[in-house]
Amino acid sequence: MGQTFAEKVLARKAGLERVVPGQILVVRPDRLLSHDNTAAISRHFYKIGVERMADPGMSVIVLDHVVPAADETHATNHRTIREFVAKQGITAFYDIGEGICHQVLPEKGHAWPGGLIVGSDSHTTTHGAFGAFAAGIGRTEAAAVMATGQIWLRVPQSFRIVVRGQLPGRVSAKDLVLHIIGDLRADGADYRSVEFAGETIAAMSIAGRMVLCNMAAEMGAKNGVVEPDETTRRWLEGRVRHDYEEVHADPDAAYERVIEYDVSDLVPQVARPHTVDNVVPVGEVVGTSIDQALVGTCTNGRLEDLEAAAEILRGRHISSKVRMLVLPASREVLLAALERGIIAELIEAGAVLLNPGCGPCLGAHQGCVAAGEVTISTANRNFKGRMGSKEAFTYLAGPATVAASALTGVITDPREV
Amino acid sequence: MQIRITGRVWKYGDDVNTDVIFPGKYTYTISDRPEMAQHALEDLDPAFAGSVQPGDIIVAGKNWGCGSSREQAVICLKEAGVAAIVARSFARIYFRNCINEALPIVTCDAVDGVEAGEEVTIDFAAGVVTTPRGVYEFPPMAPEVMEIIAAGGLIPHVRQELGLK
């Protein structure tokens, strides 16, 4: 019997011939990702009683959650992190302005096929888009990884999601993954490794694959992954400067479930408040009045997302009653969008440009919402209270649907504008 | 860890996420553990923080703790005095965070047999939860995981492993 992607990577990392689901392994990750929560992690680290990290080269730290610091508390938090970075000799430190950790980590060459990445952020699953095994962990265990260089992981069972057909116009990877989450529900892949495969995925850009793997967290998955191919290798060229050994699932691997989709007739999808699995075709919520529209976040803040929004808003102006926020996922994305004129088009259309970072996604700053207000966002979570008031409402959608809705002031099918 | 605990029940439904257990707006402004307890379940059950008693047990539906990896969503409940969480299932990172904070967790369907305010008894040795309307079995945890809980959480466990007493 063959092995799944997760079984192969984890066996290799544990130095074993093969492993089985349920087995607990102690492994050495290639990279440990953390962000603004590094201050808290550093306190846990020193509480353990060691002075130096086991391997400072493992650590990748990106300030992104509340950047630039919104107030003195956040500023102090950032200062604590900069001091920790200097003291420990961490070289892969990216200060404010570089972007969101899940975009910066691969851009700077820290994700590669067959790599093992753990991160103290639930959307660490994103890096499966590069053929890595990437999973979220807690802060205390991030501190333990810093101290020991190791972590315990349970070998997950695996799902394989096979997707066929060509995505119709103005229907994107986000619509596909929302549709899948609506089917599987928020816990449908709890603790599972989810492999995305099939001709649709093979034809998909890295940005699209990152959307799928990012949102795998919202079906409960331990990790999401797309097998590396020529698209992956091209993207990584010049970013990852060392050799790596790709890991591909065996054709006869044992999956707990194999789920098939055909996207030829897929329509834009929207997740209604207050859970990500509360998904309907856009037609069911068309006409819902909105106050704020957000394009950005670690889910949909890449060049093709900004392009999808600009394509709809070009030469037009958003509704006068809507605030539209645009947050490029990184400095690199922002520069590319500037060069192509996309940023100018979005600003001319009435959008507010924010610096690369997490922005209002987690309700800390830069566009929090008041009671009764409605946001449509390209983010990955719409939980009650997440973006500010617990009496506010967040709808999740792809960038085209968000842009079309900003244009009209009500939730709108992007194929009709 | 006590082998057998009995406690008053706070009962909740499915898919309770970490944003309603501990709101994101506090994640970088509150670092004091007892203060975290004052905001426990703030956006789900505003009555909880004011009236939870040490030894109370949370009994819930499926996918408890989904969403953000924030550990404060475990710490705030532990600091509030919650003795254990019994749920039909747990979100993965939350499950790990509970182990690392040594907050006992039990995966079974006890939510079907109890109402809020009633008592349940968890017997970790026998692997059963006894409710007013039924007895529910749960599987034992892996020995590697039990070691961490027995040490009092991941930090004391790592200290032991590194020979720091």
Nearest CA-CA distance, residue A204 and chain B, Å: 26
**B28 chain-A contacts, CB cut-off 8 A:** 36-37, 65-66, 73-74, 77, 364
B35 chain-A contacts, CB cut-off 8 A = none
Q: What are phi and psi of A333, to 5 degrees?
A: -65, -45
Strands in B57-60's sheet, in edge-to-edge order, are: B105-107, B84-87, B57-60, B4-11, B119-123, B128-131, B134-137
Rounded to 5 degrees, what are φ and ψ at A225? -150, 145
A166 to chain B, closest Cα gap in Å: 31
A343 — pLDDT class (breaks 50, 70, 90):
very high
pLDDT of residue B139: 86
Helix%, strand%, coil% for chain B, nearest 5:
35, 20, 45
Residue ranges of chain B with pLDDT lower than 70?
1, 165
B67 part of contact set with chain A, CB < 8 Å: yes
Identical fold, A22-153 and A156-242+253-266: no
Q: Which residue of A has its CA nearest to B74?
A: A138
Contact A140 B159 (CB under 8 A): no
CATH superfamily of A269-416: Aconitase, domain 3 (3.30.499.10)
* Alpha-carbon distance B63 to nearest alpha carbon in chain A (angstroms): 6
**Cα A147 to the chain's mean position, in Å?**
27
Q: How many residues are present in chain A?
A: 417
Contact residues, B window 77-136, toward A, CB-based 8 Å cutoff: 89-93, 95-97, 100-101
Tens digits of per-residue pLDDT, A26-41?
999 999 999 999 999 9
Mean model confidence pLDDT for chain A: 97
Q: Give pLDDT, residue A252.
A: 96
Structure confidence at residue B1 (pLDDT):
66
Q: What's the whole-number mean pLDDT along residues A12-35?
A: 94
Q: Using DSSP bridges, classify how beta strands B105-107 and B119-123 pair: parallel, antiparallel or unpaired.
A: unpaired
Q: Can you state the angle between helices A303-313 and A399-408, rounded to 10 degrees?
A: 30
Number of H helices, E strands in chain B: 7, 7
**Chain A residues inside the 8 Å CB shell of B105:** none
Please give the C-alpha separations between residue B53 and each of B7, B50, B80, in angstroms, as whole numbers: 9, 9, 7
Chain B contacts of A74, Cβ < 8 Å? Answer: 28
Select from B66, B74, B153 the Cβ nearest to the Cβ of A187.
B66
DSSP at B140 = P
Among B49, B26, B157, CA closest to A364 = B26
The domains of chain A are located at 22-153, 156-242+253-266, 269-416
Percentage of residues in chain A with pLDDT exceeding 70? Answer: 100
Determine whether the interchain pair B93/A138 forms a contact, defined as Cβ–Cβ distance below 8 Å.
yes
- Region A222-226: mean pLDDT is 98
Q: In the predicted model, is pLDDT for residue A369 greater than 90?
A: yes
pLDDT band at A356 (very low <50, low <70, confident <90, very high): very high
Pick the CATH number of A22-153 from 2.60.40.10, 3.30.499.10, 3.65.10.10, 3.40.1050.10: 3.30.499.10
Domain coordinates of chain B in residue numbers? 4-161
> What is the tens place of the pLDDT at every residue in A252-275?
999 999 999 999 999 999 999 999
**A156-242+253-266, what's its fold?**
Aconitase; Domain 2 (3.40.1060)
Residue A298 above 70 pLDDT?
yes
Which residue among A24, A40, A368 sits closest to B142, beta carbon to beta carbon?
A24
pLDDT tens per residue across span A49-85: 999 999 999 999 999 999 999 999 999 999 999 999 9
> B4-161, superfamily in CATH?
Aconitase, domain 4 (3.20.19.10)
Q: Facing residues of B8 across strands? A: B119
